Amino acid sequence: MASIEFKHVSKTYPGSKAPVIKDMNLEINDQEFVIFVGPSGCGKSTTLRLIAGLEDISSGDIFIDGVRSNEILPKERDIAMVFQSYALYPNMTVYKNIAFPLKIRKFSQKEIDDRVVTAEALCRKKKLSPEETQKCLKKVSRETRFTKDEIDSKVHAVAKILDLEPLLDRKPKALSGGQRQRVALGRAMVRSPKVFLLDEPLSNLDAKLRTEMRSQIASLHKSLKTTFVYVTHDQTEAMTIADRIVVINNGNIEQFDTPRNLYDFPSNIFVAGFIGSPEMNFLNGQFHIENGKYYILLDEKKIYLPGDIDNKQKEIIQPFDGRDVVLGIRPEAISIIAENTATASEDNVFTIHVELSEFLGAEVYLYFEFAGTHCMARIPSIHRIYTGDDIRISLVPSNIYVFDSKTTNTILYSENSVKHSLEDRSEKLE
């Protein structure tokens, strides 16, 4: 169990001018499940390798459990890592793979002292004679590695949790993808490390197995009560199992927040586009204030924003009057107005022509052009809408995001996001 802290960490690979990680500052709490997501080549795996000590840091510091770990060797960091390819030792059986970290590792002096203390307590409990106690303690203090019996019991305990007991005598080549993945997890679990690092561990599994393993990893985190750092490009994985998610792009942290906050209050266009599937619709327009009403002009269409914006939000958004902004709306936030249904107001209600309708079972994807931009809506399949239909849609003001077109930062809801995020975090800590 340990916290991890990045202080101004940068990483540039030899022979490359551009840094992969740029001045990263990050704090991962003890026992937290943090997931790094981002597009390919954004630096998420490199970040994980920096924590593991497999890559040298170009500048800055990494603290693991409060200890500066820049120069500490991987084997001395007390971490465990599960690789994308599982990296099982092909020449060893499942038993030997899981037992290997225990066999190879020598105890530190502190560990030996702790074992002596534990043994002393056990002797006292068993009411052994002083001579017997002395003999036992002498034996324990001489042990620099786990005994065969200790290894055996630990391996079987892990195998039982992961349902690997019938496979202990098999070699990795005789295992399926899911079984290999569980062996890799077992090898990581067996020595109870301070931090678990998982580099896209589910990416080689089929969809069904991935869902199963996802919940297994989440329950493992709960039972082990250890810090988990996980890398994936699959946002479903990230959204379902993470306490907090780090969204990385080009070596920069775009946002570090709870899954809920990332979805509801993205800090910029990148996060808004990356989190959520299908992707958010983005439309370029101009922001205007007219008679105390806020709206965005899109190709002569007025899209009204919520009227109940708080003062802080007003302070942020008012300077944008007359300036170019980007309007964002999620496909699932676009609602359909049934035929012959009267609406209280015709604000934000538009008629569109469906260019393509895709039926997916529970829902339907509608593709259409709106204000000169190709957009998409995700609606429940109860609405029977087909390609070529003309339908009325409503853009609910509270579901609209506004981004500064120059900086790409959110200019509406960004303050709320901070507030919400803090509330969410304090709830978690409680």
Partner 1 sequence: MTESRLISNPNTEYQKKSHSKTKRVISNVVIYFILILCTVVFIYPIILVLINSFKKKLYITDSPFTFPNAESFNGIENYAEGLSGSGFWTAALNSVIVTVFSVILILLLTSMAAWYLTRVNTWCSRLIYYAFVFSMLVPFQMVMLPLVGVASKLHLDNVFGVIFIYIGYGAGLSTFLYSGFVKTIPTEIEEAAAIDGCSSIQLFFRIVTPIMKPTTMTVAVLNIMWIWNDYLLPSLVLGTNVTDTTLPVAIQVLNAGRYGDVDIGVLMAMIVLAIIPIILFYLVGQKYIVRGVTAGAVKG
Which residues of this chain interact with partner 1, rule CB under 8 A? 52-54, 73-75, 77, 79-81, 83-85, 87-91, 100-101, 104-106, 187
Smallest separation (angstroms) from partner 1 to the CB of 281: 40
* Helices within 21-64 (DSSP H only): 44-52
Q: Which pair of tokens denotes residue 418?
A: 């901070």
Q: Give the count of beta carbons closer than 10 Å to the beta carbon of residue 12.
A: 15
Q: How far is the CB of 76 from partner 1 (least distance, A)?
A: 9
Q: Which residue has the tokens 């990483």?
A: 11
Task: Rank residues 158 and 402 by Cβ distance to partner 1 and give the closer one.
Answer: 158
Select 91 or 340, whichever has its Cβ closest to partner 1.
91
49 vs 244, which CB is nearer to partner 1? 49
Distance separating alpha carbons of residues 430 and 415, to the nearest angstrom: 23
* Strand, helix or coil for residue 22: strand
Half-sphere exposure of 415 (CA within 13 A, CB side): 11
Is the Cβ–Cβ distance between 92 and 100 less than 8 Å?
Answer: yes
Instruction: Give me the half-sphere count of Cα atoms (radius 13 Å) on the Cβ side of residue 44.
Output: 27
Q: Which is nearer to partner 1, 217 or 379 (CB)?
A: 217
Closest distance between partner 1 and the C-beta of residue 212, in Å?
A: 23
Total residue count of the chain as it appears in this document: 430
Instruction: Kindly give, in sequence order, each residue whose CB lies less than 8 Å from that of residue 235, ignoring residues fewer than 6 positions away.
Output: 37, 274, 275, 276, 277
By CB atoms closer than 10 A (0-12, 13-18, 19+), residue 87 is: middle
Q: Which is nearer to partner 1, 87 or 137 (CB)?
A: 87
In single-letter form, the type of residue at position 119 comes to A
In this structure, are residues 378 and 363 in contact, taking their beta carbons and an 8 Å threshold? yes
Query: Measured from the CB atom, is 187 or 210 closer to partner 1?
Result: 187
Decide whether 25 or 108 has the Cβ nearer to partner 1. 108
- Looking at the DSSP bridge assignments, the partners of residue 5 are 27, 63
| Angle between helix 177-189 and helix 94-104 axes, rounded to 10 deg | 20
φ/ψ of 262, rounded to 5, equals: -65, -40
Least Å distance, CB 84 to partner 1, is 8
Minimum CB distance to partner 1 smaller for 40 or for 91: 91
Amino acid at 127: K
Least distance to partner 1 from the beta carbon of 55, Å?
10
Q: Which two tokens stand for residue 374?
A: 């190709």
Nearer to partner 1, 88 or 168 (CB): 88
Least spacing, CB of residue 54 vs partner 1, in Å: 5
Structure tokens, 75: 């084997």
Instruction: Output the six-digit token pair for 154.
Output: 């630990």
Least separation in angstroms between residue 277's CB and partner 1 is 29
Q: To the nearest 10°, the Cα dihedral for 200, 279, 421, 239?
A: -30
Cis peptide before 278 (omega within 30 of 0): yes
- Identity of the residue, 98 or 379, whose beta carbon is nearer to partner 1 in the bound complex: 98
Closer by beta carbon to partner 1, 106 or else 312: 106
Report, in Å, the least distance between residue 361 CB and partner 1: 38
The nearest distance, CB 86 to partner 1, in angstroms, is 8
Q: How far is the CB of 85 from partner 1 (least distance, A)?
A: 5
> CB of residue 79 vs partner 1: minimum separation in angstroms?
7
Q: What is d(CA 412, CA 402) in angstroms, rounded to the nearest whole number?
A: 5
Query: Nearest Cα to 100, choosing from 123, 80, 129, 128?
Result: 80
375/368 Cα distance (integer angstroms): 5
